[in-house]
Structures are given as structure tokens and as C-alpha cells.
């Protein structure tokens, strides 16, 4: 049994049935504490999904984590910059009217969410490395256009399985 402390308990309680059915675990809560019961592997996946929901990801996106290929990563902005005006750094990541995040989402095929001084990324394990590199570059002060050019140049080529193994 795993115990997680959740700030957004209402989202978890509201979607409890979907979470239990989709993740094949039993979920109970007492105050802000969420208890998960199931096999260790299912508990780990459920923990990651609940962390993503706490981070602010939509329910559908958070449930993508149960797919084996999808990964949830968190980047702490303070780890990559010495600047004191973190509002400006967050603004650079989000962009005007959210344009930078939308463009990054299209180029990397990953989902992004900014909370406090952290950036959450959910994406396919193949694409997540490029997404992390792009976010870190923007945090360090690279121009958005240079980051987009880098991502376009380093697109992950899909591997076609011909079933020859």
C-alpha cells in the first residue's frame, strides 16, 4: 500500500472510479492522504498518474502514463538558472498566449504543464529527451526560434517494425 499526499484531492476523488478501473488499483483517501492498493507495478503507475494530476495535467493526459511507452518527468527551473526573476523565465517557457508551449507540444509530441518553479512533461520515451533539452535551453536563455530549429533538425525518426525478428 502506497501513501501519497495530494494538494488537489478533489480531482482524484471526482475521478476515483475511472482511476480504479483504468489502473486496476483500489484508491482510498483520508483528508489529503491518498492510499493506493494493488500489485507493486500497478501502485507505481498509479502513483505517477496521481502525481501528474496533482501537477495540473488534464485527466486524459495523466492516464497516458499507464501506457508503457509514456513517461512523466519534472524539471526544476532553479536547477538550470541563477536568475532571481523566475516569473520571466516561466513567461519565456509559456510564451505569448501560450504560443511557445503549443509549438513545443507540436514539435516534440509531448504535453507540458508549468507549476510554480517546475515544468512537467508527459510524453513518449523516445520524444521526452528532446522535450527536456528544449525546456532546459529556454530556461538558460536560448531564443525560442533557435530551440524550434534544433527540434526540427533533431526529430526522432519513427522505426517501422517489419516483424522480421
Assigned domain for 62 exists: no
From 15, 31, 57, the end of a domain falls on 57
Assigned domain for 111 exists: yes
For the chain, the domain total comes to 2
Selection from 110, 79, 114, 75 nearest residue 94 by Cα: 114
Residues 74 and 128 in one domain: yes
Residues 84 and 47 in one domain: no
Which CATH number does the domain housing residue 96 bear?
3.30.1370.10
pLDDT given for residue 156 in this prediction: 75
Assigned domain for 65 exists: no
Assigned domain for 63 exists: no
From 15, 33, 57, the end of a domain falls on 57
Assigned domain for 16 exists: yes
Domain that holds residue 135: 70-153
Taking CA atoms, 104 is separated from 2, 18, 27, 49, 161, in Å, by 34, 29, 34, 22, 27
Residues 89 and 132 in one domain: yes
E strands along 31-156, which residues?
Answer: 33-37, 70-76, 110-115, 118-124
pLDDT given for residue 68 in this prediction: 81
Q: Provide the whole-model pTM.
A: 0.86
Residues 21 and 85 in one domain: no
Residues 86 and 139 in one domain: yes
Residues 147 and 112 in one domain: yes
Interatomic CA distance for residues 61 and 139, integer angstroms: 24
pLDDT by position in tens, the chain (length 165): 888 888 888 888 888 999 999 999 999 988 889 999 999 999 999 999 999 999 999 999 999 999 888 999 999 999 999 999 999 999 999 999 999 999 999 999 999 999 989 999 999 988 999 999 999 999 999 999 999 999 999 887 766 767 766
From the CB of residue 55, how many other CB atoms can be counted at a distance below 10 Å? 21
Query: Which three three-digit cell numbers place residue 146?
Result: 533557435
Interatomic CA distance for residues 31 and 25, integer angstroms: 19
Residues 102 and 145 in one domain: yes
Length of the chain: 165
pLDDT given for residue 165 in this prediction: 60
Amino acid at each position: 500500500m502506497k501513501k501519497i499526499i495530494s494538494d488537489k484531492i478533489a480531482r482524484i476523488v471526482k475521478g476515483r472510479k475511472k482511476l480504479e478501473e483504468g489502473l486496476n488499483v483500489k484508491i482510498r483517501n483520508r483528508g489529503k492522504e491518498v492510499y493506493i492498493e494493488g500489485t507493486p507495478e500497478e501502485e507505481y503507475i498509479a502513483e505517477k498518474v496521481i502525481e501528474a494530476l496533482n501537477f495540473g495535467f488534464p485527466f486524459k493526459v495523466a492516464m497516458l502514463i499507464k501506457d508503457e511507452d509514456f513517461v512523466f518527468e519534472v524539471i526544476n527551473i532553479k536547477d538550470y538558472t541563477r536568475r532571481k526573476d523566475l516569473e520571466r523565465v516561466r513567461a519565456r517557457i509559456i510564451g505569448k498566449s501560450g504560443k511557445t508551449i503549443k509549438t513545443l507540444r507540436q514539435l516534440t509530441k509531448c504535453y507540458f504543464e508549468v507549476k510554480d518553479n517546475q515544468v512537467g512533461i508527459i510524453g513518449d520515451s523516445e520524444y521526452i529527451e528532446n522535450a527536456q533539452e528544449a525546456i532546459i535551453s529556454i530556461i538558460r536563455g536560448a531564443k525560442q526560434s533557435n530551440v524550434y530549429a534544433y527540434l526540427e533538425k533533431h526529430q526522432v525518426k519513427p522505426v517501422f517494425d517489419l516483424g522480421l525478428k
